[in-house]
Amino acid sequence: MGKHSLQRESRLPNSVKGALVMGAVAASTGAMPAIPAMAATINIPGIGDFDVPVPQEFDQQAQDLGKQLTQALGSMAAAPEAAAPQAAPSLPGLLAPVMPQMFQQNTASDIALDAAKTKIGAQYSWGASGPFSFDCSGLVQWAYKQAGIELPRTSFEQSHVGAPVAFENLRPGDIVVTNGGGHVGLYAGDGKLLNAVQSGQPVSYTPLRPDMVVTARRMV
């Protein structure tokens, strides 16, 4: 019986014999034998590894090609600024300097208030209308002149220009007359008046209350 079984086994193809031997090895050692590679692994930086199935006879060529592709992609990833074109500036970024000029125009009141702010700290001088010293009405007159508007010289005359405005509706740059009509300044917002106050005190901000206002005027 032993002789016949060996003769039957000898008729098996070599590939089958090899498989039987490998199976026996696996059963005795607990380790599976290596299987010939049938796929090429390609690594794409930042994405991952991909196994590309290929016929066994082209396996080595595919692996060599995969290595070359991996090296090329690695070089591109190391120097992205050289491989990728520069991003074009966004449209809002290009228009940012232009949009305010196209759609936002400062009013005369805005311009006058901005001009008066440049004189904060200038000395008070009765009868002076700038550009280095001012009295109250001289500051208002000079500020509005920078906006292209000619105002009369005194606070009493300035109390009749433009259109009247209620205290709760005041906007920065409005003309505010106080002290029974004898003082004038520009509303600066947040309950403050920008004015040339009095002798010995420079152009500055002072608090403004509703009970102080004789009249408020807006140039329209």
The pair of three-digit structure tokens given for residue 196, joined into one six-digit string: 């040339």
Looking at the structure, tell me whether residues 70 and 116 fall in a common domain: no
> Looking at residue 198, what is its pLDDT?
94
Looking at the structure, tell me whether residues 182 and 116 fall in a common domain: yes
Select from 212, 220, 217 the least CA-distant residue to 164: 217
For the question of whether the overall pTM of this predicted structure is more than 0.85, the answer is no
The pair of three-digit structure tokens given for residue 103, joined into one six-digit string: 């759609």
Looking at the structure, tell me whether residues 61 and 122 fall in a common domain: no
Q: 164-184 pLDDT, tens per residue?
A: 999 999 999 999 999 999 999
Number of structural domains, the chain? 2
Written as one string, the DSSP assignment of 38-102 is -EEEEEETTTEEEEEE--GGGHHHHHHHHHHHHHHHHHHHH-HHHHSPPPPPPHHHHHTTTHHHH
Is 5 within the bounds of a domain? no
Give the Cα separation of 124 and 182 in Å (integer): 15
Is 28 within the bounds of a domain? no
Give the domain range for residue 189: 108-218
Is 24 within the bounds of a domain? no
* 17 or 200, higher pLDDT: 200
Q: 180-214 pLDDT, tens per residue?
A: 999 999 999 999 999 999 999 999 999 999 999 99
What contacts 24+ positions apart, CB below 8 Å, involve 29-34? none
Give the Cα separation of 122 and 192 in Å (integer): 18
Looking at the structure, tell me whether residues 162 and 61 fall in a common domain: no
- How many CB atoms lie under 10 A from the CB of residue 88? 8
Is 144 within the bounds of a domain? yes
Looking at the structure, tell me whether residues 138 and 47 fall in a common domain: no
Is 187 within the bounds of a domain? yes
Looking at the structure, tell me whether residues 53 and 113 fall in a common domain: no
Looking at the structure, tell me whether residues 163 and 65 fall in a common domain: no
Looking at the structure, tell me whether residues 184 and 138 fall in a common domain: yes
Q: Residue 115 is part of a domain; what is its CATH number?
A: 3.90.1720.10
HSE value, Cβ hemisphere, 13 Å, CA-based, for 191: 4
pLDDT at 133 over 50: yes
Looking at the structure, tell me whether residues 115 and 211 fall in a common domain: yes
Is 147 within the bounds of a domain? yes
Looking at the structure, tell me whether residues 185 and 121 fall in a common domain: yes
Tokens 């010995």 sit at which residue?
A: 200
CA 35 vs CA 14, 96, 199: distances in Å: 17, 64, 102
Looking at the structure, tell me whether residues 40 and 137 fall in a common domain: no
Is 114 within the bounds of a domain? yes
pLDDT at 142 over 90: yes
